[in-house]
Homo-oligomer: A and B are copies of this chain.
Amino acid sequence: MALKAQVLYDFTAEPGNNELTVREGETITVTNKNIGGGWIEAQNSRGEVGLVPEDYIEFSKSASSFPPAATTAPTPSVGNVASQDLAFFDAYAPASTPAQNQASNGNDPWSAWNTDPSGGSNNNWASNPEGTQTGRTASDPWASVSQGHPQAYQGPGAEDDEWDDEWDDVKSNAGYADSEAGDSGAMQRGGAHATSMKISLNKFPGFSKSGPELYLLCKQLTKSKDRLPVYMGEVGAVWFYPETQLDCVVADPKKGSKMYGLKSYIEYQITPNTTNRPVNHRYKHFDWLYERLLDKYGSAIPIPSLPDKQVTGRFEEEFIKMRMERLQGWMTRMCRHPVISNSEVFQLFLTYKDEKDWKMGKRKAEKDETVGVMIFSTIEPEAPDMDVIEVEQKCEQFSRFTKAMDDGVKEILTVGHEHWKRCTGPLPKEYQRIGKAFQNLSSVFTSSGYQGESTLTDAMTAAGKTYEEIAQLVAEQPKKDLHSLMETNNEYKGLLGCFPDTIGVHKAAIDKVKEGDKLVATSKITPQEKVTMAKRVSTMSYSLQAEMNHFHSNRIYDYNRVMQLYLEEQAKFYETIAAKLRQAHSQFTTM
């Protein structure tokens, strides 16, 4: 009797990875529980076989007493082995999974994005700006600040085993379900991932009640060598910027495989401009870096999420290219950040010498205790303390701005997405039909038997072909211009989605400082502690101001660049069409 399982969460197979797309509520037959590494092999009702993360399924009640995978399980029957072999070949058939089919909609890489302004991701901004904890919904990312985030990054432990295991891009993030509620379909995990940092603070058991007090009231600030000065520059508070800007190139994706070819992964080559020596990393390594940066800097610096796991691409090559492009974008942004780029963990990622060096650095990073709000203990503003009222005003200004920009960016994504669909769908089809109609009429004219109309019919045929060429140009144009515009705005959407978390930490701190008198009166804190808290919230504010100024300067650079690129390519596009039409026009007889 086959072992049945219920699917708990949607899982979308990654192309070429021998995985099986399953949907929540679906019943599957487990064909091999001994795959290991958190995977099982299963067959769906259509007979398709592939790997599914074991955390995504629940063994059916009749079989619920079976232990989970990686422990002893019945040896698969001969029949199951056969279907497993079949699956190995089936999974390489292109466009065979629903996920791939979904992604093929007009070849629009944004078709799966949740750009609906009423969508769940917007809840980031709809949450209570006063920082009170009443009325917070499960999909409210502010909730993660105060309640911690169950099963978000699990923190250091036995992960060295995991590190070398066979999975690459999919981790057991079933715990994200709380923020998935507002999203939909295949993008559930990706959508949640993209719009909120999920600051991981559950290392500090008391945090869910105490929040930023951990920093505001801590007895002694660690004299870290990773001191983060904030200077007063022309535009106000600024981070310390290195003379040479770090940069790196993500390139040369190579396929590797594990488990006798059952699981494959992609390794990227990352070459920093400092050493010019390439290092190799898999997506999961990027993910590890992301979690480390989020852990350490997330309260002070919005750490944009990694590119979505389910980015599109009808074919594996396209998928890999798209992911690489986005990893490059993410790395570039991290390199541009003076605090991140200079951090030990980021330097480790880019410049580790060998496996041993890497593993040691990794362990050290995971043991770092200057994480969460404690990052503020390393910040040293070279400026007079600010009044809490001014701190609050600044914070609210940043909150308003990032919220407004988030709306603006989403509007561009929404209209850009629709424009993409039109330009790759109905519009070129119409130009093609116009072209065909001209050519058809021309061929009717050719059949007239009337003398001397070949000039007309040749010209009409050419005009028809011109419109077919225009159809092609129209369909291909979005990749040349709209793509960059969308990618940049999508990056900013991700970045802006991190601000509610970051700003939330600041708002909670401000609230605490404003309660100072009351806390002293009720003997919750000493008068000295009240003074310390006010000083520390000022430090936090300089940190936020430096970060906002960094954000603005990057924003100006990025939008200047992307708008120029867009308009340049658009102008070229219309010029090309005009030239083609002039050429077609010239073939008619002048009368």
Contact = CB atoms under 8 A, between A and B. Distances in A.
Nearest to A426: B422
B456 A556 contact: yes
Contacts of A585: 564, 567-568, 571
Interface string A416-427: 101100100011
A559 interface: yes
A181 interface: no
A160 to B, nearest CB: 44
Contacts of A419: 430, 434
A571 B470 CA distance: 12
Interface stretch (A192-200, A223-231, A353-361, A446-454): A446-454
Interface in A497-546: none
Given A560-B589, A574-B578, A437 B453 contact: no
A1 interface: no
Interface residues of A, number: 68
Contacts of A409: 441
Most buried by B among A422, A456, A559: A559
Interface stretch (A17-25, A322-330, A365-373, A397-405): A397-405
A161 interface: no
A333 interface: no
Contacts of A453: 552, 556
B430 A422 contact: yes
B552 A463 contact: no
B581 A578 contact: no
A79 B490 CA distance: 68
A553 to B, nearest CB: 8
Contacts of A449: 397, 401
Given A412-B438, A415-B430, A450 B571 contact: no
A575 interface: yes
A570 interface: yes
The quantity of this chain's copies bound in the complex is 2
A499 to B, nearest CB: 13
A131 B436 CA distance: 33
A310 to B, nearest CB: 26
B581 A563 contact: no
Nearest to A492: B441
A559 B235 contact: no
Nearest to A401: B448
A564 B460 CA distance: 10
Contact of A235 (B433, B450, B589): B450
B440 A415 contact: no
A137 to B, nearest CB: 27
A437 B418 contact: no
A581 B574 contact: yes
A582 B235 CA distance: 32
Contact of A411 (B437, B463, B549): B437
Nearest to A562: B588
Contacts of A400: 447
Contacts of A463: 563, 567
Given A447-B401, A456-B560, A408 B426 contact: no
B560 A571 contact: no
A405 B575 contact: no
A42 to B, nearest CB: 44
A415 B464 CA distance: 13
Contacts of A591: 557, 560-561, 564
A51 interface: no
A459 interface: yes
Interface string A372-412: 00000000000000000000000001001100110111011
A447 to B, nearest CB: 6
Contacts of A438: 412, 563
16 contacts: A401-B448, A405-B441, A408-B440, A409-B441, A411-B436, A412-B438, A450-B556, A459-B563, A463-B567, A560-B591, A567-B581, A567-B584, A567-B588, A573-B578, A574-B574, A578-B578
Given A412-B437, A575-B575, 4 more contacts: A401-B449, A411-B436, A415-B430, A456-B560
Interchain residue pairs A-B with the least CB separation, the first 8: A574-B578, A567-B585, A408-B441, A450-B552, A571-B581, A575-B578, A415-B433, A404-B444
Interface of A: 234-235, 397, 400-401, 404-405, 407-409, 411-412, 415-416, 418-419, 422, 426-427, 430, 433-434, 436-438, 440-441, 444-445, 447-453, 456, 459-460, 463, 549, 552-553, 555-557, 559-561, 563-564, 567-568, 570-575, 577-578, 581-582, 584-585, 588-589, 591
